[in-house]
Structure 1
Amino acid sequence: MDFELSDEQKLLKDSVERFVKDNYATEARAKLADTELGFSRDHWKKMAELGWLGLPFAEEVGGFGGTAVETMIMMESMGRGLVLEPFLATVILGGGLVAEAGSAEQIEAIIPELIEGKMMLAFAYAEPQSRFDLNNVATTASKSGDGYVLNGHKAVVYHGTTADKIIVSARTSGDALDTDGISLFLVDNDAEGVSRRDYRTIDGQRAADIMLENVKVGADALLGAEGKAYPAIEKVASRAIAALCAEAVGAMQTANEITNEYMKQRKQFGVPIGKFQVLQHRMVDMYMEAEQSKSMSDMVAMKLDLGDELDARKAVSAAKAQVGNAAKFIGQQSIQLHGGMGMTDEYSIGHYFKRLTTIEMLFGNTDYHFKKFAALSS
């Protein structure tokens, strides 16, 4: 699949690529990853000034009304540099949930602040027992006067450390695996009863396990209708998966370029290893996997904007399965072709391998989405 970008889309692509080139050389990224935040607030401010944080939001709230295609273009370029700023966590997930499920008052209070770079969000959906099922929610929200009391344990909340507000999925009714009965709540990160265990993930980003112990929130913290949040969660998760697929495509393409260049320079038996036919075949396989993933990523972005939810969900799972499989193959082959030095922190290819490995697992691994696609197609 191939399609032409509009002039505006080409400008967006060029601006993100220029940002990555100027700010995300291997050493510069390593220094950022080693900071306490794990990213740069100056970079975040620059993203706000360039209008990127408002890309997917409606013009009525200060956004640019971009589609999933524009998000794909941006994430693909970010994937080339392994960008660390919490665009996915804050804009796609957090902002997406507010825009999808929030009231007019909540949208007006949060989205403009987010677009200006003044507010960061995170989505706490995963739990220790939930695996990849978004409906496996044991965290509870009990009515208390005019508000609610939240109790539970949320795991691997990406950028939960730096978010100003955490969007928490909690069960207000129903059994543990029911899709009905799940609600969303806006919780201040420093609210009484909230405790965190912050850590660095394998791909150099930041995450947190968040404990909620008798956390009191008002009725205005409820995002959308009580017990009816699952469709919004599923829709926003689909858009996040599409964004991850695009990011993976950018990372895979760059991993291939790095590996191809290394094979031209690394000599064995007096000749570059790129001269060996069996390794040339390996590089062709890696190139084809990246190209197939690119086609799937492009396809799912367009499907998301067409409005057919079932078709979009099938496309999302198909793309995630293909991209996950390709990410694993390209990442592992890149490391093997580099040898032991590929896993050193000083060399860039290991960081691409780690990010691709993480993306393969986020929101469901390859096997999970193969099964999901089969179920949706039956």
Structure 2
Amino acid sequence: MALVLNDEQTMLRDNARGFLAKNAPIAHLRALRDKRDAEGFSRALWKEFVEMGWAGILVPQDYGGLGLGHVEAGVVMEELGRTLTPSPFLATAVLAATAIARAGTDKQKQHYLPKLVAGDLIATLAVDEFAKHHPDHSAMTAARAGKDFKLNGAKTFVIDGHVANLLIVAARTAGKAGDTSGLTLFIVDASAPGVRAERTPTVDAHNAARITFQDVNISAENVLGKVDAGWDVLEGVLNVGRAAVAAEMVGASEEAFGRTVAYLKERKQFGKAIGEFQALQHRAAHLYCELEVTRAAVLKALQTLDDSYDRAGAIVSVAKARAGLSATLAVQEAVQMHGGIGMTDEFDIGLFMKRVRVCQELFGDSNFHADRLARLNRY
């Protein structure tokens, strides 16, 4: 398959780019940050996302969604990266929608998916328990209580966890930390007794939370997939999230690069634009090549998720690792080429560095995915 967008995907990209540039420029993020908004995103803007159908991109048409693919979800994520827009799109429309659509019973799909599409629910995935991403090390317990379960433990770095109505939680019903068997996914009402969310704003002014579970009773009807066999479902959902975050980093890094090139043409030193200096030209050319290779890798990962969902793990790790490295290079070069002003908060370029740093850690950094790729290839 050609590594280019088709006409419909290009139209979606252009529409999303125009809409976000007008309605959610970086000034939107600054306003939320500076007034210390309690929710950290605009519900009015999210309602517009819903009205455009973005909340249902990955939801089948039978449940009210658009029934599109991961490439289309990646297109929206890339444009969100360009404007650094905080929204529940990743948590709700990508992670939660994928988990329920892929593993839910028909009753669960009928109950939850239309509500996600309509914007009546904000949902997220709660998996990590440590400073670094190690989903197989989950130790949170889900002990049998008759036919039901009782959850105890804590999750950290839960995207939009403080505003979520619904949580997809990975907990251990058997085995020990480090085992891939024995994990089970649960659908948990965020308002259930024993669930407590503490907002932990990230350095990039986006949203995350630490969520604790103390003797939370969960009905067996709220098991997502099969008991003790949640790992394969979880890995699939994480792959989708990883590819989506990689697409966001492509958008952020290309926007940072574009702003830097414009600055090189404007800033003058010794009577000439600094972009005329060969050393900076070489660095810019190198960065451009790196970003183009990364764009191809990320698009290939999204296409593979659409065509061969269960065999996309390796290329997704390539895309996430590559996106982390090239985006980090892009924002570091951007700050350096802007000089002293690049370090000031009043200049937007530093905000891209902060967002890329968070995205690098989200669902595994470049080192995690290099190791994962080696293991998948039996090195």
Q: Same fold (TM over 0.5)?
A: yes
Superposition deviation, residue 2 in structure 1: 5.3
1:13 match? 13
CA–CA distance in structure 1, aligned partners of residues 163 and 96 of structure 2: 13
1:146 match? 147
2:181 match? 180
CA contact (8 A) 1:101 1:229 kept: no
1:354 match? 354
Q: Provide Cα deviations, 1:38-68, integer angstroms capped at 9, x if missing partner.
A: 1111111111111111111111111111111
Matched, 1:100 2:78: no
Superposition deviation, residue 4 in structure 1: 4.6
Superposition deviation, residue 151 in structure 1: 0.3
Question: Which residue identity does 2:74 align to in structure 1?
Answer: M
CA contact (8 A) 1:314 1:373 kept: yes
Question: Which residue identity does 1:49 align to in structure 2?
Answer: E
CA–CA distance in structure 1, aligned partners of residues 304 and 5 of structure 2: 16
| Unaligned residue ranges in structure 1 (runs of 5+) | none
CA–CA distance in structure 2, aligned partners of residues 126 and 200 of structure 1: 16
Moved more, 366-375 or 46-55: 366-375
Superposition deviation, residue 340 in structure 1: 2.9
1:228 match? 229
TM-score w.r.t. length of structure 2: 0.95
CA contact (8 A) 1:2 1:295 kept: no
SS at match of 1:200: coil
2:134 match? 133
1:245 match? 246
2:41 match? 39
1:268 match? 269
1:291 match? 292
CA contact (8 A) 1:321 1:367 kept: yes
Superposition deviation, residue 189 in structure 1: 1.6
CA contact (8 A) 2:138 2:171 kept: yes
Closer/same/farther in 2, CA of residues 122 and 308 from structure 1, 3 Å limit = closer
1:205 match? 206
Superposition deviation, residue 219 in structure 1: 1.8
CA–CA distance in structure 2, aligned partners of residues 304 and 317 of structure 1: 12
CA contact (8 A) 2:172 2:184 kept: yes
Matched, 1:77 2:79: yes
SS at match of 1:178: coil
Moved more, 360-369 or 24-33: 24-33
* Residue 65 of structure 2, aligned match among 63, 75, 81: 63
Matched, 1:373 2:373: yes
CA–CA distance in structure 2, aligned partners of residues 44 and 308 of structure 1: 28
1:331 match? 331
Superposition deviation, residue 29 in structure 1: 2.3
CA contact (8 A) 2:70 2:303 kept: yes
CA–CA distance in structure 2, aligned partners of residues 124 and 213 of structure 1: 15
CA contact (8 A) 2:28 2:85 kept: no
CA–CA distance in structure 1, aligned partners of residues 5 and 199 of structure 2: 40
SS at match of 1:167: strand
Question: Which residue identity does 2:151 align to in structure 1?
Answer: L
Superposition deviation, residue 107 in structure 1: 0.8
SS at match of 2:85: coil
Aligned length: 376
TM-score w.r.t. length of structure 1: 0.96
Matched, 1:343 2:343: yes
2:190 match? 189
SS at match of 1:9: helix
Moved more, 103-112 or 139-148: 139-148
The two structures, once aligned, show a CA RMSD in angstroms of: 1.5
Matched, 1:317 2:317: yes
Identity of aligned residues (%): 38
Superposition deviation, residue 21 in structure 1: 1.1
Superposition deviation, residue 215 in structure 1: 1.1
CA contact (8 A) 2:168 2:188 kept: yes
Closer/same/farther in 2, CA of residues 350 and 53 from structure 1, 3 Å limit = same
* Residue 121 of structure 2, aligned match among 100, 103, 119: 119
Question: Which residue identity does 1:325 align to in structure 2?
Answer: L
CA–CA distance in structure 2, aligned partners of residues 230 and 205 of structure 1: 28
CA contact (8 A) 1:77 1:247 kept: yes
